Amino acid sequence: MTPSTPEAPAAQPAYRPLPTGPSPRWRRAAEGLRWMRYATWASLGLHAVGAVARVVALASVSDGHARYASGMVVASYFGGVDLLANGVLAAGLWRFGGLPPATGATPPARAAFWLFVAALGASMLGSWTIAPLARAAGYSPSLISAMFLLRGVVTIALHAAYLGMLVRALNVSMRSVGAALPRWAPQAVAAFVGWKVLSIPAQSLLLMFQRGIINYPWMAISLAADVGFAVALVTLLRFAEPVLARQESPDPAG
C-alpha cells in the first residue's frame, strides 16, 4: 500500500475577526466620512450665502460705498467660515485614511488628502494675493489675467485628482469588506471634470452678453452644478459610512 499523502493545511482567512468587536480604526474612518459629509453641506450653504452677499453688494454700488463695503465684508466673513468647513473636511479625510493597513485604502486616501490641501491652497490664491502682488511687481493686466486663468486650471486639475483618489480609496475600502460603491461614482468624477473644464469658456461666453455688473445666469448655473456635485459626493459618503462602521478589522493591531 502506498502511504497516504498528508492533507494540505487549511487556508487561513484573509481577515481575522477581532473578538472585541469593531476595531477603533473602522469607527474612526466612518466618523471621518461623517465629518466630510457635514462639511460638504456646510461649505455649500456658506458658498451660497457668500454669493448672495456679493450680489447684494454689487447691486448696491449705486446706493453708496457703505452698503457695498458692508456686503463685501459679509461675503468675506462667510468665505472665512467656508475655509473652516474645508478644514473640517480635510480632517475627516485624514481620519478616513486611518483604515487598517490590510485594506489597502490608506495610500489613496492619504493622496486624496494632500491633493485636497493643494487644491484648497491654489484656490486661495485669488484677488487678495495674485492681483496685489502682480500689480506691485508692475505686471500688465493681460499677464495678471493669464495668472488667474492658470490658477483656475491648476485648481481644477488638483480638485479632480482629489476626487479621483477619494473614489479610489472608497472603492478599495468597500472591496476589502465585500461591498462596492455605486457604479456611477467614476462617471460623477468625470462629469465634474468636464463641467469645470467647460465652465471656463461658458463663463466667458455669458460675459459677452452680460448687461450690468452681475451675471445672474452664470451664478444660477454655477450654484446648481455645485448642488448637484455636492449631493453626489454626500451620497457616496453616506453609502460607505455605515459599511465601514460595522466591520471587524483584518488588522490584529487595529
> Mind listing the pLDDT tens digit for each residue in 238-248?
999 999 888 85
Among 92-101, 207-216, 240-249, top mean pLDDT goes to 92-101
Which tens digits make up the pLDDT trace of 117-175? Answer: 999 888 887 656 776 777 777 777 777 777 877 888 888 899 999 999 999 999 999 99
Q: Is 148 exposed, middle or buried (0-12, 13-18, 19+ CB in 10 A)?
A: middle
Q: Is residue 98 part of a domain?
A: yes
Percentage of the residues of the chain whose pLDDT score is greater than 70: 69
- In this predicted structure, the answer to whether residue 218 has a pLDDT above a threshold of 90 is no
Best CA proximity match to 109, nearest among 161, 163, 166, 159: 166
Q: How far apart are CA 101 and CA 89, in angstroms?
A: 22
Residue 1 has pLDDT above 80, yes or no: no
Nearest by Cα to 240 from 192, 172, 184: 172
Q: Is residue 19 part of a domain?
A: no
pLDDT recorded at residue 43: 84
Please give the tally of structural domains in the chain. Answer: 1
- The whole-number pLDDT of residue 245 equals 86
Side chain identity, residue 219: M
**Residue 254 included in any domain:** no
Give a yes or no: residue 5 inside a domain.
no
Residue 64 backbone zone (phi > 0: left; psi -120 to 50: alpha; other: beta): left
Task: State the DSSP H helix or E strand holding residue 6, giving kind and residue range, or none if neither.
Answer: none
Cα–Cα distance between 215 and 48 in angstroms, integer? 15
Q: What is residue 70's predicted lDDT score, i.e. its pLDDT?
A: 54
Nearest to 47 by CA among 10, 102, 86: 86
Q: Which domain holds residue 31?
A: 24-245
The pLDDT > 90 percentage for the chain reads: 30
User: Are 112 and 125 in contact, with CB atoms under 8 Å apart?
Assistant: no
Q: Is residue 196 a part of any domain in this protein?
A: yes
CA distance 13 to 16: 6
What's the pLDDT score for residue 24? 82
Indicate whether 13 belongs to any domain.
no
* Residue 145 lies inside a defined structural domain of this protein: yes
Q: What is the DSSP letter of 199?
A: H
pLDDT band for position 112 (cuts 50, 70, 90)? very high
8 located within any domain: no
Which residue carries 505686471 as its cell?
A: 139
